[in-house]
Structure 1
Amino acid sequence: MASLRARLINLALPLFGIKSFFAEPERMEQRLAKARRQKPQRPKAKWHKRFDIVEDATRGYPVVTITPKGGAAAGAPHLLYLHGGGYVLDVAGLHFETVCKLCERLGASATVPVYPLAPEHKAPEVLAAMRALYGEVTQLHGAANTTVMGDSAGGGMSLALAQMLKADGGDMPASLVLWSPWLDATATAEGQAEIEDKDKMLAQVGLRACGEAYGGGLALDDPRLSPLFGDHEGLPPMAIFSGTSDILLVDGRHLAGKLRALGKKDFEYHEYAGMCHVWMLLPMPEANQALEQTAQFITRARAV
């Protein structure tokens, strides 16, 4: 059973308007205009006492680098974290909070791109930018020391990036971590409609609208938007986390099924009963458990 804190948070989620955003795509343009006027969110002051946090905008979009004071621990990984938000919403404070917590657990450093957003920017442009950034990160830290990870849309982008690397012969990261990943932009998978009533954050109609905004004319089942339909052979060790109160549960299950069908043994699938979308970003015991499992997976994957 979900913890009391998790159940209380789930009851409170409608108050934040996330579900309304995804359930009313006809108002998305108006809401995005308002979101673009808000001050960008960055790590809280407390994290600046524990990390050197540097922001660089010379690539045409901001990139935030987080390094423990005194440097990363010997042998620690480097995290390239791609944030969620349906490809249309900016990085949130909760993303930075969670990345910093994970860096503390691992003694790790991290790179968090505040990547260009749809509908102003489309998938081919954004993925090319993330491919170039990955090249920079791995030149500094080594592909074998790098974990690519993300939540929701960022989880989908992480998998799409790995598929791009395979296609162009690039060095693979040590591992992938996908938290509540959005892997199928068509948002039409069997079972999603039945889950939607208990999902307090997402709606199929809004996901499709975001996919169309990000795709810029690409078919919604194009692997750049929907890496579930891409090539999964030869990818790095992978950890997938899904919650049963999230319509994207179906995406996580389908990916795990495809990996099993390929005979892959180097992936983990963690399904949390009663958990909402991206619960690992929220203040609840189940988030701490997911972070610990993530840290253990990243450490094991680098030891292989």
Structure 2
Amino acid sequence: MVSLGARFVEFALPLLGIKRFFSQPHKMDQRIAKMRRQASLRPGRKWREKFDIAEETERSYPLVTVTPKGGARPEAPHLLYFHGGGYVMDIASLHWDAIGTLCNELGAAASVPIYPLAPEVTAETTLPAMRALYDELADRYGAQNIAIAGDSAGGGMALALVQDLIRGGKPLPGSMVLFSPWVDATASGEGMAAIAPRDKILAPVGLEACGQRYAGTLPLNDPRLSPLFGDLTGLPPTAIFVGTSDILLVDARRLKDRLEQIGEPPALYREADRMQHVWMLLPIPEGRAALSETAQFLRAQHGANKK
């Protein structure tokens, strides 16, 4: 049964105006320009009391590292988290809360790139930059000790990065977690239109518009921004979470189906009834349960539950 909190959020989400952003692509550039004038958010005081927060600025983008006070547990994975936002929106407080919750449950540290946004920077630049960051972290922590995670566009970026590692024959992370992943920038999956009236956040026309801005000179079906169309063999153990009131349910199901067709099904697949886009990040009982299950999945993959 859907919680009272989830019902309230479903009612309140339209008031935030996110659906308007994705439903009116002709106004998107104007609204992006307005967003750029706002300061990029960082973890709030609640998390600063629990973690040491460091920020590196020598790259072409800020890198925020979240580390438990006293250090991460030796058995915990190192989380590399890519935030969502259609590749055009900055990181939000909900992202920091989810990252903080996961790190707190696992005793883990996290690296969070505040990656350059589209349309100013496109996939041809952003993905190699994230690959270089992964290589740094793999050298520092060991590839098998890294858990890559992302929500929405960040989920697509996580999958595209892992595919790039596989193509290059590089060591893979020990696990991957995809929250409401956007893995088809064409936004052409059959069934989206039927779900769209129930989705209080996304609209297909807005996703396609965001995809065009992130694509640059690439076609929208290029695996670097639409990893659903790339080679899916050899992925690390992968968890996928999605809701049935999210138009990206279509992407998640196609991804699951393709993985099953090649004999490599997701290690964990959760499809939650009536849940909205990125419900795992929302302050509702279902969201808290999803993060707890994510932590349990990561413990199992990385051995953090072993004495």
TM-score by length of structure 2 reads: 0.97
Aligned to 1:264: 264
Aligned to 1:296: 296
Match of 1:242, SS state, is strand
Q: For each residue in 1:168-219, what CA deviation from the matched residue of structure 2 results, as whole angstroms up to 9, or x when unmatched?
A: 1111000110000001111111100000001000000000000000000211
Distance 2:262 2:296 in 1: 24
Counterpart check, 1:118 vs 2:118: yes
Match of 1:67, SS state, is strand
Distance 1:118 1:282 in 2: 25
Q: How many residues align?
A: 304
Where structure 2 has 5 or more consecutive residues not aligned to the other structure, the ranges are: none
Q: Percent identity?
A: 58
Q: For each residue in 1:120-169, what CA deviation from the matched residue of structure 2 results, as whole angstroms up to 9, or x when unmatched?
A: 00101000000000011111111111000000000000000000000011
Cα deviation for residue 68 of structure 1 reads 0.2
Distance 1:259 1:3 in 2: 31
Q: Contact 2:232/2:259 (CA < 8 Å) preserved in 1? A: yes
Q: Provide runs of 4+ in structure 1 moved above 3 Å.
A: none
Q: Contact 2:241/2:271 (CA < 8 Å) preserved in 1? A: yes
Distance 1:79 1:206 in 2: 29
Q: For each residue in 1:11-54, what CA deviation from the matched residue of structure 2 results, as whole angstroms up to 9, or x when unmatched?
A: 10001010000000100111011100011111001211110000
Cα deviation for residue 265 of structure 1 reads 4.8
- Counting only pairs closer than 5 Å after superposition, residues 163-242 of structure 1 correspond to structure 2 as 163-242=163-242
AA aligned to 2:28 is M
Aligned to 2:76: 76
Aligned to 1:248: 248
Distance 2:238 2:35 in 1: 33
Cα deviation for residue 72 of structure 1 reads 0.2
Match of 1:136, SS state, is helix
Match of 1:148, SS state, is strand
Distance 1:265 1:203 in 2: 28
Aligned to 1:32: 32
Cα deviation for residue 74 of structure 1 reads 2.3
Distance 1:180 1:35 in 2: 23
Aligned to 1:158: 158
Distance 1:255 1:116 in 2: 26
Change beyond 3 A, Cα 1:187–1:181: same
Cα deviation for residue 301 of structure 1 reads 1.5
Distance 2:82 2:7 in 1: 27
Cα deviation for residue 300 of structure 1 reads 1.3
Counterpart check, 1:46 vs 2:34: no
AA aligned to 1:130 is M
Distance 2:74 2:168 in 1: 31
Q: Contact 2:256/2:266 (CA < 8 Å) preserved in 1? A: no
AA aligned to 1:281 is L
Match of 2:176, SS state, is strand
Where structure 1 has 5 or more consecutive residues not aligned to the other structure, the ranges are: none
Distance 1:283 1:93 in 2: 11
Distance 2:149 2:123 in 1: 18
Cα deviation for residue 82 of structure 1 reads 0.2
Q: Contact 2:176/2:239 (CA < 8 Å) preserved in 1? A: yes
Match of 1:125, SS state, is helix
Q: For each residue in 1:276-300, what CA deviation from the matched residue of structure 2 results, as whole angstroms up to 9, or x when unmatched?
A: 0001111100001110111111111
Distance 1:12 1:46 in 2: 24
- CA root-mean-square deviation: 1.0
Distance 2:155 2:146 in 1: 15
Distance 2:4 2:36 in 1: 35
Q: Contact 2:75/2:303 (CA < 8 Å) preserved in 1? A: no
Aligned to 1:148: 148
Aligned to 1:280: 280
TM-score by length of structure 1 reads: 0.98
Match of 1:269, SS state, is strand
